[in-house]
Structure 1
Amino acid sequence: MNLNTARALTATGMLLAATAVGMIDTSHNTASALSPRPCGFYSLNLPQGEQTGGYVHCGDSFILIRAHWDTGTTFTSCIPPWGSRPFYKDGAHKVVNAYYIPTRPNLSGPPGNQMCSTSQPRS
């Protein structure tokens, strides 16, 4: 193969690769589904299935969060170290905010292998 033919094939390959990359769908939904979530509460503008948002904990300790429904009611939830908690629709209602509260969560299990208990303080 001579040098001119090799250059032409290389240029053609680069053009095809650039065209293929340009055809990849990078819509907002796809990009947001692949990007990591920020620490704390997040809301999904377009629900992903039944999920409307969540909470991501970026720390080495168990924490308790308070979440608010759009009806005004609240609940608490324990989040493990570096854990997350998705929020899902409940009929027409959804969680609109969640934040850390300084109340110690209830834990179960032996030291070094603890997990969140099923019941948590309502503070």
Structure 2
Amino acid sequence: MNVNSARALTAAGMLLASTAVGMIDTSDNSSARVMPRVCGFYAIDPPRGELTGYYNHCGDSFILIKLHWDTGSSYTVCVPPWGQNPFYKDGPHKVVNAYYVTTPPNVSGPPGNQWCSTGQPNS
């Protein structure tokens, strides 16, 4: 085989290999491991099943976040350090925004082993 034929076959093989790699279907979970963590609220559009969004807390403290539904109602949720809150559909309705509020959350447990209490202040 001459040099030009070997180069042509190598180029064709590389083209086929790169095309095949591009066709591999990766799940969102594997891409999430590669992507940096997004802090705060983000919507998933289009939704993945019933999952419509997340709130990621990127900090070492407990915080309170306020959620707003597309119906106009809202409520607060405690988020633990470095915690993630998923948001799911409630029938046809979904959470459209979530953000940090300065009101401290209610926490329970001894120092160093605390968790979010069931009841949280409305802010």
Place the TM-score, normalised by the shorter chain, in its bin. Answer: 0.7 to 0.9
Map Cα deviations across residues 76-119 of structure 1 (whole Å, 9 max, x no partner): 00001111101111111111111000011000111101011111
Q: TM-score, normalised by structure 1?
A: 0.80
Amino acid at match of 1:108: S
Alignment partners' CA distance in 1, 2:56 and 2:66 = 13
Alignment partners' CA distance in 1, 2:60 and 2:29 = 28
Amino acid at match of 1:60: D
Alignment partners' CA distance in 2, 1:22 and 1:44 = 23
Please provide the CA RMSD for this pair. 2.7
Map Cα deviations across residues 8-39 of structure 1 (whole Å, 9 max, x no partner): 7876764553232122247xx84996344411
Instruction: Please list every run of 5 or more consecutive structure 2 residues that lacks an aligned counterpart in the other structure.
Output: none
The aligned counterpart of 1:51 is 51
**What SS does the corresponding residue of 1:72 show, helix, strand or coil?**
coil
- How many residue pairs end up in the alignment? 117
Cα gap change, 1:94 to 1:32, in 2 (>3 Å): farther
Cα gap change, 1:61 to 1:31, in 2 (>3 Å): closer
Cα gap change, 1:32 to 1:102, in 2 (>3 Å): farther
**What SS does the corresponding residue of 1:122 show, helix, strand or coil?**
coil
Q: TM-score, normalised by structure 2?
A: 0.80
Cα gap change, 1:30 to 1:85, in 2 (>3 Å): closer
The aligned counterpart of 2:17 is 17
Alignment partners' CA distance in 2, 1:76 and 1:119 = 10
The aligned counterpart of 2:97 is 97
Matched-pair identity in %: 68
The aligned counterpart of 1:68 is 68
